[in-house]
Amino acid sequence: MLNKKKTPIAVFNILKSVMDAKAKPLNEQLAAGRRATAELPIMKEHISALRQVILNCRTFDPSERREAEEDLEDKELQLVGIQNRIERGQRAEQELKLVQQFNTDYISICKMYLNAPRIHELNDLFYELCERQYRLDEKIIACEINMDAASRLPGFVEQARIDAAKYSEEYNDLEKRKSEIRKQIEELQR
């Protein structure tokens, strides 16, 4: 059987600070990617228009054509930059999902860490109640045996019925308490 080592909560606290530090630039990259996504169709439209200008100026005005070609080169470089920001934004979005999952897990781990002593205490109480129910069960069976009117005295049979009713009531009360403890444990484990 393997020995499971528990990771100290301090390690999770350090990881939390690392993830929080990582989240800020990722959010900035995501926002830049979204802005770039909005800019992309406009830039493509500008590039298409410049290409049309270059085609139209081929024979009429060489200086205007050169100016349009230079502007086209500049716009194409800007387009590459926009596409890169979109890609970084998409990667950032995926990494932010991992950060969010870690944050969800971190909250759960912290709750478990804080609630572990109480859960342990409630589990101990639950098993103690189970043991008491087991002993009551044995007493109830003994009472049922003693309720045989053919082989026992009437006073003895009546006392066995009274005791069985009392033990059954105690047993049911313990069952209710166990149910409440189960609910408390489930709440603490959420």
Q: Which residues touch 185 (CB under 8 Å, ≥6 apart)?
A: 119, 122, 123, 126
Question: Rounded CA gap, 26 and 17, in Å?
Answer: 15
Phi, psi of 58 (to 5 degrees): -50, -45
Query: Per the structure block, which two tokens stand in for 18?
Result: 């690392």
Amino acid identity for residue 126 in this structure:
F
DSSP letter (8 states) at residue 8: P
pLDDT mean by block of 10 residues, the chain; 190 residues: 64 90 94 95 92 78 83 93 95 95 89 86 94 95 87 87 95 96 88
Q: Which residues touch 113 (CB under 8 Å, ≥6 apart)?
A: 9
DSSP letter (8 states) at residue 65: H
**According to the model, what pLDDT value does residue 132 have?**
96
What predicted TM-score, i.e. pTM, was given to this entire model?
0.58
Query: Per the structure block, which two tokens stand in for 1?
Result: 């059987």
